[in-house]
Structure 1
Amino acid sequence: MGPGAAPKNPSRGEEPPQGGDAEQQEETDAGGGGGSRGPEEGGDGVLTYCCEGHPEEVYAALRGLRECSLLTDLTLILGGRGAAGVGGATLRVHSPVLAAVSSLVRDALETRTRHHRAEPGAGGVRSWSLSLGPEVDPGGLQAVLDFAYSGDTACLEGGTVARVRAAADALGVPRVLDLCAREGEIQKKQGEEGEEERRRRRAAEQMKASLRCVAELWEEGVGCDVVLDVDGTAVQAHRALLAASSDYFRGMFTCGMRESRQHRVSLPGLPPSELLPLVAFSYRGALPLGWAGVFELACAAHRLQFAGALALCTDFMRREMTAATCLDVASFAGAYGAARLLADADDFVLRNFPEVAAAPAFPDLPPDRLLAYLGSDALVVPSELCAFRAAAAWVLADPERRLAAAPALMRQVRFPLMTFREFQEEFSAELPEARRRLRRPEDALVLVGGDLLGWGAAQRELSRELWFSHALRSGTGLLKDVEWRRLGALPDGPRFRHAVGVVRGRLHVVGGCDFYAPDDTMKSAYSYDPELDRWRRLADMQEARSSFSVVVGDDDLLYALGGDRQINTNVASVEVYDQQADSWSYARPLDQPLSGHASVHLSGDQVLITGGFDPQYRCLTSTLLYRPGRGTTRLADMAHERAQHVMEALRDGRGRCRRLYVAGGVRNLRAFYGDQLACEAYDFQAGGGCGGGGGTWSAFAPLPVAHVGAAAAVLEGRLYVLGGLSQEDFRETGLVHRYDGATGRWQSMGRMPGAVTDVRACLLRLPGRLRR
């Protein structure tokens, strides 16, 4: 009998679930309650997805129910006369809400629950009352109730603390007593910058803790006032919690339906395996999800109007989508009118069409969908021959019925894009634009600043421009390029050898050089908001830096690591930028000065650093795991030394690192530096997590040309290396190369639009008006 299941007949000597088992189950299913975190691994490919704002949404709904006096089962009777504004001498509340913060109410509720269990045929715990002593002041009680329903109280002002403390003491509410004890500290911070946001976060944490307490009541069967009967299985719950999470149950329990007066409610046609997770979601804000049952669970969530649970299901489908499941996701999204999910599924199909065409579900694709995919300019195929073969295979899967659709399908195959060898006929290489494949990914590849060397470094021109990739174009055979458009300019002039990072959709540009003299290294920082198309000056770093790296942590902190303070003077210091305080502070330094290195944020506080120059400006093979609070740990070295290289992470749908790509840069020669064309990939050990369990390096295809001081990013699962120069002849590369792990090859993607060396790149979601 799982958590929330109704206890069986006491006459048979069977007990309801006990707290120990319930707590163990909560730890397994939801990590100790819903919260703001990513999905967690489970057995058999099951992941636990958590709704970040679920406690706040539930308590907002509960406040609305209380304001309308709906499903309030507990009457609080004041010992005094009462007061205007608090309902006279009585107040109506939801007993689970108050029991989550009050030991007095919880003890009384447990006693009533035991009493009802002992009575054969008892109708469950319904309306009841609790008398409070004269020491409980109406104003103080109201403050406690405000805390119970919102996680905060605004009443600790103007001499009310004593009344609030008396009410909290009488009801046994230790968290409110703690607030009263810290009243002076709270008053002192009133009006401080950022205090309102900190107060909101504290209230959210309190509501999260309260909801965990309500979940404990449910797991122990305390105060449950309804039994849901599904296919012979009884599931206990609190009406108020169900109504707060589901519009279906809110209507059932509050709109005068027959079920609103019944203790036992039957839900025909719904298996327990679908109802139990949804009821648990009401209390935990979490769902265990896997491909084996996610579509059925999503249908149940849609039927019972659990909007939050349905959002988690669709989020799972979006994040965990594979070539084997994307067509099922598209079918579900189309059937239920989930336009955004359908767009994401269609986009996945277009990006991974060769793999999708080989999946078992592809022959069952409806003809209109296949027509749409083949006709899309955004279809990504290594050659148009792939599109032709997919269409032919679909027809041959059921030739008697599908042969009639073949002409329409073949009209969508762009035969002029095939090479002579593929089609064995000669076509003109000049194609009208309408016959090209033109793909516009949601994320744009943005280039920032950089340097233009010219021929032999005789002419140099610094850049302050920003460019973005408007579209990816495919021409005849393997011919591909990027359509670049200008985004704008840096606000304070040109810069190169700088660093960039993206925090919550905003571009951050930090440090670098604005000219070539030793004292031209900068410490300034700016952020760009694409929604507002506006720049903002941020606080300066503590130190000027160039040829350094910036990573963005899980907590939205920006970490600036190492770099050159001046020419040939690198540093080991690390600075952290706090968005809320707009300030930089020092973190634990690296174990030695570094510049020209590459860094990637893995997860939590883990940062992986490869290569770079040591204090003697020798290229390194090192792989370092850096943690701001612990320092540096050495991992397996790369096979090749390098500096001024690129490193990017290939991540899964949940944002976790699957692989790290390292490419380009310079290598040590006897007296000079040479171009490093060798490329390496770092794979994490199975079960070791991102960096924590170490990993191994392996080689992949070398670069076709030198890329020293290049930019890089991963767009749609493919590594882009952009620009740079050759250290051996000081000529700029100016080319864009893309590595596709599926084929193990580098592809040429055309040329850069402006400055090509010491430029930086990132992915940014741009609003439609900028892309138009």
Structure 2
Amino acid sequence: MALAPRLPHGWEERWQREKEQRRRAIEEGGEKLEEANRKLKWIVEFNNRRMGAKGRMQEEGEEQSEEEEVQMHCRHAHPRELFHALEELRASALLTDLTLRTADGAGMHAHSAIMAATCSALRQHLQSGDGGRGSAGERGGGVVEFAYTGAIAGLNRDTLAQIRAAGLALGARRVLELCSVEEEKGGGAEGGTGGGAEECRISAETQMELTLSSVRELWMERLGCDVELEVEGRRFPAHRPVLAACSDYFRGMFCSGMRESAQRVVTLQLVGGEELEALLSCSYSGTLGLGWGGVFELTCSALQLQIQPALLLCLRFLRSRMDARSCLDVAAFAEAYGLADLRKLAEDFLLINFQEVAATPKFLDLPGERLLEVIGCDGLCAASELPVFRAVVAWLEAEPEERLRWAPPLMAAVRFPLMTFREFCEVRAVNLGMEVSGAGEVQLYGSALSQFGFPVSDGRDPCRVRRPKDALILVGGDRLDPELGRRPSRQLWFAHALHTRTGLVKEVEWRLLGEMPEPARFRHGLGVLGGQLYVIGGCHFYAKSDTLKSAYRYDPLKGSWHRLADLRENRSNFSLVVREGLLYAIGGDRDINNNMDSVECYCPDTDCWSLARPLDQPLSGHAAVVWEGEIFVSGGFNCRYECLVSMFLYHPQRGSTVLSGMAGDRALHCMESLRGRLYVAGGVCNLRTYYTDQLACEAYDPRSDAWSSLEPLPLPHVSAASAVLEGRLYVLGGYCMEDSSDTELLHRYHPLSQRWENMGRMPGPNTDIRACLCRLPTHLRQ
């Protein structure tokens, strides 16, 4: 038991100030507790809504076993966030149970579990049950600061001896190591041998990770645990400060004067034992095992208890792992809990992948009102209107007696004027088949079918118009002018909307975004970092001396351009990728018929280009993409300008690692990452002694290092742009090698249908153009 410290000068003012801080913290905690409790009423409602979907999951057999697979997910920022919250509690003297005394008798409040994770002497106190009091020495505040922040701001030559003495008194080994590093650094400054001190210094982030690991050990050994949470007859020990730092629910419970704040055992309702065990483990580690079999239950419990690290991991899982089988469950869950952003994301996923979702058993459990909203939405994506009609028929036939009343409004929402005559024939066949099943069904489709071949009565365009959140942007390039020849461009265009018209007819609504600074350029590099566009290098015309090394950054929010540091070398026909916050310009042509093996790295913080490890051979006209932090490079021209079949992994420090090659050689092609595979399309290939159009397409699986063939392109796309928008691969423009004519069309590939779609015409430039995705200001999208 701690003795009362001597009262220093000015203690009364400090006591009043801390009392006011405690009052505000208690009020804030109480409000957050009430907010958490209000969410409990959704649990029963959500579980009832999921009963039908769960029943169908059990019928899916093998698919359900895949959903039950659990993988560990980590929140790397958890140690920093946890100790920041613990320091706030300590500063307000909330839940502190330890008083450390300095030589002058002053007392410092702290949490025994946190200090014991750093100080062996205090850990021994916990093991012996003699906690609450300790001697810190004259600079004990430094040890306390280190325990909560992983650093000591005031550690210098003047304070070194005092902090070392406090570290020795408390058994703070890592504080002593920090003092040794500081001492070596001081010796180095005076000409000693301390040159390696900085290399030995461990970052504050790492120190907090080590401290959290020690706190977890205390928890697992039940040392210093001051509360037990009782659920389903099981008791789970824990430390109140850790719970309060991770959860607004527990902060309100333990800091607002509620009776639970004085209870050794606290009983929790509507939380399962397995879920609580997982959430507690996450609070002490920042890691959580997640799979579709239990993620909703864990998220429910995390929401109820407001355990932020677990909740953030659950929400990240639901966002990133959403697929056709799970998006409807995610949407229902988000609606029940008022998670507006997650609900919007799930609903948008349904619209984008309507055909894929409609093929799942869970689609048949949609309420009629919800299905009507979906098929009536302009943003619904489907190959044509026929799959929408088929989905409605399947939903009606699942429970015909109960759903018969929904047939008229649902059929009225299907946009029959967008169907072709062949599609009309299938619809009529379905209609006649249902007519003979009962006299009451004869007129269900009458009014809807009458729309075939006629304009909508109110004059509205029946096409579906989708406006993706991310804008597809085209930058630079050139086009063939019949009178003036090839003309480089300074223009920036963006796809404002995607239009689906009759049958398979689709088109993109393009809008002009602006122009880049002089000169116009093509064969350049384009990347997006921090929501801004980086336009690097390229050519401004077709002579040997027309290769550029200038670089610009475009801010879409301000509509402004900023000149950056030049490349070290003139460079065109290269690949530009973004990896770990840096830009990499890989290979390319220095001038005509002179490609290079160098790689340059750009750091936005310093506005500086530096050389990375070179390629194994000169390369240009290749394609590169980043997948899971790794740079993959395919095809291209070698130094003799022969097309290659190669695929390799490039690392800025380690260099190149050769992977399985493509089935066909290609250069001036596209490569994009989509659904865990790398898709290559377009370009040219070697045919005897000359180039020809490469129409074959392939997909690479990085996990198995294997290639598979895809449907070939319908038209040549040499030196085209590419991007992945809403789960589809877009190949835009380019030219035909056979007659040098521009390819003025863009095509889209959907992995589900495994077919290329014609998406209409390009807005302006076609060849040697570059594309990217970026969020644009709202006023540009209206």
TM-score (norm 1): 0.84
Q: Provide the residue aligned with 1:703 in structure 2.
A: 713
Deviation, structure 1 residue 593: 0.4
Larger mean CA deviation between 419-428 and 366-375 belongs to 419-428
2:682 is aligned to 664
Residues 112 and 132, structure 2, Cα contact 8 Å, conserved in 1: no
Q: Which residue does the alignment assign to 2:24?
A: none
1:60 matched to 2:96? The reply is no
Note if contact 1:324-1:359 (Cα within 8 Å) is conserved in structure 2. Answer: yes
Distance change >3 Å, CA 467–CA 225, structure 1 → 2? same
Could you say if the C-alpha distance between residues 106 and 624 of structure 1 is closer, same or farther in structure 2, counting changes exceeding 3 Å?
same
Kindly indicate whether residue 469 of structure 2 is the aligned counterpart of residue 442 of structure 1. Answer: yes
Residue 134 of structure 2 aligns to which amino acid in structure 1? L
For 1:770 and 1:149, locate their aligned partners in 2 and report how far apart those are by CA, in whole Å: 47
Q: Is the 8 A contact 2:682 2:716 kept in 1?
A: yes
How far 1:360 sits from its partner (Å)?
A: 1.3
Does the alignment pair 1:726 with 2:736?
yes
Cα distance change, pair 629–160 in 1 and its aligned pair in 2 (3 A):
same
* 2:598 counterpart residue number: 573
1:535 CA displacement:
2.9
Deviation track 1:102-155 (CA, whole Å, cap 9, x = no partner) reads 23222332332xx8xxxxxxxxxxx621134xxx21xx2223222222233322
Q: Does 1:91 align with 2:108?
A: yes
State the partner residue of 1:35.
none
Q: CA deviation at 1:430?
A: 9.6
Q: Secondary structure at the match of 1:438?
A: strand
Is 1:129 aligned to 2:133, yes or no? yes
TM-superposed deviation, 1:280: 1.1
Contact 1:454 1:731 in 2 (8 A): no
How many angstroms does 1:396 deviate by? 2.1
How far apart in 2 are the matches of 1:703 and 1:429? 34
TM-superposed CA distance for 1:428, in Å, is 4.8
The question of 1:161 aligning with 2:154 is answered: no
CA contact (8 A) 1:454 1:732 kept: no
Aligned to 2:29: none
* Corresponding residue to 1:683 among 678, 693, 701: 701
| Secondary structure in 2 matching 1:45 | coil
State the shift of 1:159 in Å. Answer: 2.9
The DSSP-based 3-state class of the residue aligned with 1:730 is coil
Question: In 2, Cα distance between the equivalents of 1:215 and 1:342?
Answer: 35
SS at match of 1:435: coil
Report Cα offsets for 1:612-657 as digits up to 9, x if no partner.
Answer: 1111111111122222222222222212111101111113xxxxxx
Corresponding residue for residue 630 of structure 1: 654
Give the residue type in structure 1 aligned to 2:403.
R
1:179/1:489 CA distance change after superposition, 3 Å: farther
Displacement of 1:71 in angstroms is 0.7
Matches within 5 A, 1:299-378: 299-378=300-379
The letter for the 2-side match of 1:513 is C
Task: State the Cα deviation string for residues 501-531 of structure 1 (Å, max 9, x = none).
Answer: 2223222221111222212212222223334
SS in 2 for 1:276: helix
- Maintained 8 Å contact 2:479/2:486: yes
- Structure 1 unaligned segments of length 5 or more: list them: 1-41, 83-88, 116-126, 190-197, 652-657
Aligned to 1:737: 747
Match of 2:419 in 1: 418
Structure with a larger share of its residues in helix: 2
Contact preservation (8 Å) 2:456, 2:462? no
Preserved CA contact (<8 Å) 1:578 1:584: yes
Q: Contact 1:429–1:476 (CA<8 Å) still a contact in 2?
A: no
Going from structure 1 to structure 2, the CA distance change for 1:205 and 1:433 (only over 3 Å counts) comes to: farther
Are 1:587 and 2:612 matched, yes or no?
yes
Q: Does 1:487 align with 2:513?
A: yes
Equivalence for 1:650: 674
Q: How does 1:422-501 map to 2 (within 5 A)?
A: 422-424=423-425, 427-428=453-454, 434-455=461-482, 459-501=485-527
Taking a change above 3 Å as real, the CA distance of residues 251 and 448 of structure 1, as seen in their structure-2 partners, is same
Alpha-carbon deviation of 1:158? 8.2
Task: Give 3-state SS (helix, strand or coil) of 2:411's partner.
Answer: helix
Cα gap change, 1:509/1:180 in structure 2, threshold over 3 Å: closer, same or farther?
farther
Say whether residues 1:620 and 2:644 are aligned partners.
yes
Cα-to-partner distance string for 1:688-714 (whole Å, 9 max, x where unaligned): x3xxxx522222111111111000011
Q: SS of the counterpart of 2:485?
A: coil
Q: Quick one: which amino acid aligns to residue 667 of structure 2?
A: A
**Count of aligned pairs:** 680
Q: Which residue of 2 aligns with 1:716?
A: 726
In 2, Cα distance between the equivalents of 1:577 and 1:734?
33
Instruction: Find the counterpart in structure 1 of residue 273 from structure 2.
Output: 272
1:168 Cα deviation after fit = 2.8
1:236: how far off? 1.2
Q: Secondary structure at the match of 2:402?
A: helix
Counterparts of 1:128 and 1:303, CA distance in 2: 32
Aligned partner letter, 2:282: F
Pairing 1:109–2:126 present: yes
Residues 45-89 of structure 1: per-residue CA shift (max 9 Å, x gap): 2122222322222222212211221110111122x224xxxxxx2
- Alignment-mate amino acid for residue 160 of structure 1: T
Contact 1:449–1:755 under 8 Å retained in 2: yes
Amino acid at match of 2:691: Y
Provide the aligned C-alpha RMSD in A.
2.5
Instruction: State the AA in 2 paired with 1:145.
Output: V
Cα offset, 1:416, TM superposition = 0.4
Counterpart of 2:71?
Answer: 47
Supply the distance in 1 between the matched residues of 2:209 and 2:492 (Cα, whole angstroms).
42
Partner of 2:778: 768
Moved more, 43-52 or 614-623: 43-52
- 1:404 CA drift (Å): 1.4
- Distance change in 2, residues 1:306/1:771 (3 Å): same
Counterpart of 1:523 in 2: which secondary structure?
A: strand
